[in-house]
Structure 1
Amino acid sequence: MTSKISFRDVTRTFPVNNGAFTALDGVSLDIGEREFVTVVGPSGCGKSTLLALAAGLDEPTSGEVTVDGERVTGPGPERGMIFQQYALFPWLTVRRNVEFGLRLTGLPAAERRARATHAIELVGLADFADALPKTLSGGMKQRCAIARAYAVDPEVLLMDEPFGALDALTRVQLQDQLLRTWSAQRRTVLFVTHDVEEAVYLARRVVVMAARPGRVQEVVDIDLPYPRTEQMRLSPQFAALRNRVWNAVYHQPPAAARP
C-alpha cells in the first residue's frame, strides 16, 4: 500500500508552567492512499494534535510529517480540514459558503458554481443550496462544511470529531452519508473521534492512542466489507471488533506502569 500521509518519530511538546507537556511521543504511522483511518483514544492522548500536524496548522518538536513524501510545512490545498464546529458564514447561502474556498483559488465563476453544485449534491443538500445557515439543522450545517471541503477537491480529508456535537440519530445518518461520499470520491481520510463504535464503523483501520504521553497503542484492522450497513452494526463480527477497540482504549495500564 502506497503511503499518502506519514508520521516519522513525531514528538510534540508544549511549554507549561512547570516545564513541558508532551502531547505526542515518538509517533510513527502510515496512512495509505485512499484509505479511511480513524483515530480514537482517551482524553489527552494527542488525537487533535496529530491531525493539526497533518494539516500543517502546527509543527512537530521533532520528527517529520509528510504527504506524498513531501514534508508538511504549512496548510495546503491538497488537504481539507473539517472541524467539530461548522464555521459557516451566517450571511452566505449554502452555495456561497461552499464556493468560498474556490473564490480564493481564482476559478472562473461558472466553474466555481459547477464544482459547488457537485459537492452540494454529494452531501444531499441540493434542495437547500440557496438557504442560509440559520435555517439548517446541525447535521445539515455539518454537511455544508463537508461540501465546502470537497469543493476544493483535496486529496486528503482531515476530520476532527466532526459529528461529536450532533444527536445520535443525526450522527448515524451523517456517518452513512460520509461513507457514501467517500466511496464515490475515494479520498484519503484521517478521522479523529472519541466514539469507539463510530471509529469501527467508518474505518479500514482504527489507530488506538495511549495518553500521557500520546503514542500509538495499537492499530486494529477492520476486516468488514464496504458498504457498511445498519445490519453490520448488529453482527457478531462488528461486536468483536468494537470490544477489541474498546478494551484497547479504556483498559490501558496507568502511564507510570508502561515501559
Structure 2
Amino acid sequence: MATIPKIHFDNVGKIFGTGPNAFIALEKLNLDIADGEIVTVVGPSGCGKSTAMNIVAGLQEATSGQCLVDGKAVRGPGPDRGVIFQQYALFPWLTVRRNVEFGLKLQGLPVAERRSRAMHYIELVGLADFADALPKMLSGGMKQRCAIARAYAVNPSVLLMDEPFGALDALTRVRLQDQLLDTWSRDRRTVMFITHDVDEAVYLAHRVIVMAARPGRLQEIIEVDLPFPRNEDIRLSPEFTEIRNRVWHAVYTRKSKAA
C-alpha cells in the first residue's frame, strides 16, 4: 500500500492579475514531501517559493490544481500547519510566554495547560530565563526563537518557514539552524523551509528543491545524502561542498543563462 505524502502539490498553478497584466507565479508544480522530511526550497526572486508555501498554509488559493496535506485538500489555514515568517510578528505588549500561549488560548485550552505547554517550548528554544520579558528586550535571534516556540506550541504536524533566519547575523543564523535540527530530531515534524542561502539549504535538508522563474516552476530536486545529526564537521566535508556546488550551479548558473 502506497504511503500518502504529508504534502502533495498536484499540478498546482497560481496566476496573479488578469489579461495583459497577468503574472504566472507558479506553473504546474508537482511535488511530494514525506512525513517527517525537511525540504528546503531555493531559487531566484519571483520563482514562486513563497507562493507555494502560502498555498500549503492556506493563505492563498491555487488558480489550478490542488495542494493536499495528509491526503486532504487545503481549504484555508489550520492548526496542523505552523507558519514562521522572516518578520517575527510578535505582539509587542505581550511577554514571551503570553506570545507563545496566544494560539493555545484561541484553541480554548485551560490556563494551566497552556502555560505548561508554552513553557515546555520556551525551554526547548532556550528562552526560559526570558519568559516574562517583552519582545523589545530581546535580540533578533531571541525573537525568532520565540516565534518558533509559538509555532511549535499549537502542535502542528507541518512547519512552514519562509526565510526565518534571513535577517539575522551569521553566527545567530548558524545557531538557530542547529537548534532547528535539534528540535526536529526529537519530534520529526515535516518542514518546508524557504531560503536564498545555498549553504543553509544543504545543511538543513533531506532534499533541496530548486525553482526556476518566469514562470515559477520546479527545476530540479537534489538529494542531500548526508547523515544526521549534522554539525560543523558536516559543513566542512567534501561531500557537503560537492552538494552545495551542485545546488549553486542549478540556481545561479542556469539563472544567468536564462537572463
Shift of 1:17: 7.6
Shift of 1:124: 0.9
The equivalences for 1:2-41 within 5 A come to: 2-15=4-17, 18-41=20-43
Deviations 1:15-46 (A, max 9, x none): 16833100000000000001000000011100
The equivalences for 1:56-205 within 5 A come to: 56-205=58-207
Aligned-pair Cα RMSD in Å = 1.4
- Give the paired residue count: 257
User: Quick one: which amino acid aligns to residue 38 of structure 1?
Assistant: T
Compute the TM-score of the two structures, normalised by the length of structure 1.
0.96
User: Quick one: which amino acid aligns to residue 139 of structure 1?
Assistant: G
Gap regions ≥5 residues in structure 2: none
Q: Tell me, in whole angstroms, the C-alpha distance in 1 between the residues paired with 2:190 and 2:145.
A: 18
> Given that residues 84 and 161 in structure 2 are in contact (C-alpha distance below 8 angstroms), is that contact kept between their aligned partners in structure 1?
yes
What SS is found at the alignment partner of 2:254? coil
What SS is found at the alignment partner of 1:252? helix
Compute the TM-score of the two structures, normalised by the length of structure 2.
0.96
Q: Tell me, in whole angstroms, the C-alpha distance in 2 between the residues paired with 1:134 and 1:184.
A: 30
User: Quick one: which amino acid aligns to residue 216 of structure 1?
Assistant: L
Shift of 1:256: 6.9
User: Quick one: which amino acid aligns to residue 251 of structure 2?
Assistant: V
1:232–1:74 distance in 2 versus 1, CA, 3 Å: same
Gap regions ≥5 residues in structure 1: none
Runs of 4+ in structure 1 off by over 2 angstroms are: 16-19, 253-257
Match of 2:208 among 186, 192, 206: 206
Shift of 1:227: 0.7
What SS is found at the alignment partner of 1:22? strand
Aligned partner of 1:45 in structure 2 is 47
* Matched-pair identity in %: 71
Q: Tell me, in whole angstroms, the C-alpha distance in 1 between the residues paired with 2:258 and 2:195.
A: 25
Shift of 1:3: 0.7
Q: Tell me, in whole angstroms, the C-alpha distance in 2 between the residues paired with 1:191 and 1:246.
A: 17
Q: Tell me, in whole angstroms, the C-alpha distance in 1 between the residues paired with 2:233 and 2:256.
A: 36
Q: Tell me, in whole angstroms, the C-alpha distance in 1 between the residues paired with 2:71 and 2:112.
A: 34
Q: Tell me, in whole angstroms, the C-alpha distance in 1 between the residues paired with 2:194 and 2:258.
A: 26
What SS is found at the alignment partner of 1:114? helix
User: Quick one: which amino acid aligns to residue 192 of structure 1?
Assistant: I
1:236 correspondence with 2:238: yes
